[in-house]
Structure 1
Amino acid sequence: MRYSICYTPSARDPLSLAAASWLGRNVYSGEPVEHPALPGFGLHDLAFHTALPRRSGFHACLKAPFALHEEASEAQLLRELMHFAGIVEPFTLSGLEVARLGDFCALTLAQPSNQLERVASLVVQNFDRFRAPLSDAEIERMAPERLSAPQFANLYRWGDPHVLDEYRFYMPLTGPVAMSQRDRIHQAAATYFAPVLQGSVVFSNLALFVEREPGAPLVVHSLHPMGRVSARKIA
């Protein structure tokens, strides 16, 4: 069993519903969802391009998947996450857009958000005591020889190279896309998600995701609303 702390909208949020259809799986129930009918796309075409994010589910990672430390329990993790969420104030994700990040498409922010970066950093640091150390094999799978010096340091300190100053918020919508298809896929995703991105998207909860066995699809274990204890703000 591995756990991950992420952002994802609530189950009935229009963005969650749109993403579940786009990816072909509901990250709350784990059940398949029918893909939307897109002009010029067959269902198998969209299914192929969304296979990787379908397994991981619609989310932006804050704390990468980790096994529990031998001295920690799921109950302790849940209590700490509930407390933490309650003292962090919600905020608006301004400028959320469909973008191309290298060879894949994702929802990301047009401009950096100081509030988001602070919450992401706090999650990484506050919950690291629950994380079991990475094995040598797990470190090797992350190809440490390809990392920058700060990323290498993050991998060994926090179990994830892309945290703190190296963090970027994104919610994957595709896996790697061939260069000849990138403009087509990007335009289709941008058009499809445009209606649900017109209004405000609020970062108002933290989600605990679980991977019940190696390679299993990630699902939401529990959703923790933010801002319940307003007298003790830390973000």
Structure 2
Amino acid sequence: MISYKAATQAYLVFAPNNVQQTFTAADLLAGTTPGTTSYSKPSPTAGATERFSIIQPTPGGTATDYLRVTVGDFEGSPTSGTRARTKSYCVIGVATAVTDIPSASTVSFTRASVQGEAHDIRSGSLIVYSLSDSTATMTVDLTTGQFVSNLHLIGRTAGGTVADLGTFVEQGSIDVTNAGFFGSNSAFVSGRISPTIYGGFFGPQGKEFGYVVSGTENTMTNPTDIGLLVTAVVVGSR
């Protein structure tokens, strides 16, 4: 969860591991990448750094108008103390009004991009993959209120090794009260990664969409141990 106080120009960011951090104008980094606003501050953990970025994604090479992606990377706060370092993603922006519905019965999004990481320890050694090579599609049936998103997760290590982590058909219903949605993998297999997604539509007549992906796969030797962890964000436009 993210909240912003205009009076103090401060972002209060909550991570899934119950850690929260406040980033102010004093933490703003100069000279960041165009389309990205980044913040940095010392961590409660000696020698560590807490980071927060707001990114204007470019699905299909075109920058989004109504949504932004945020990335939090921190491990502690004055109230919670030190926790395990967590990288978390969120989609923020101008949500589509529930009364502003496209006239077409079916809507397809032609441009999409994926950002995130997969942590794979199934081989016995940790491998970290970037998921930027991944692809996604989104189709919405406005007569039923259902959507389908095909998500193909492709990992790439810093050294260039590529791994196909699977294709997942994410489907679910649109929440008519807020234009948000929740979806899950239609082909669940026990013990295998089965991502869930949470997101919404942004801009006039749902011009853009964005959702957060999370999923785990347990090891074969111990069903309670996580062998693969995926966290990412998918955005698209039409």
Superposition TM-score, scaled by structure 1 size? 0.24
Greater RCO structure (CA 8 Å; 6+ sep): 1
Which of the pair has more CA radius of gyration? 2
Higher strand share: 2
Superposition TM-score, scaled by structure 2 size? 0.24
Higher helix share: 1
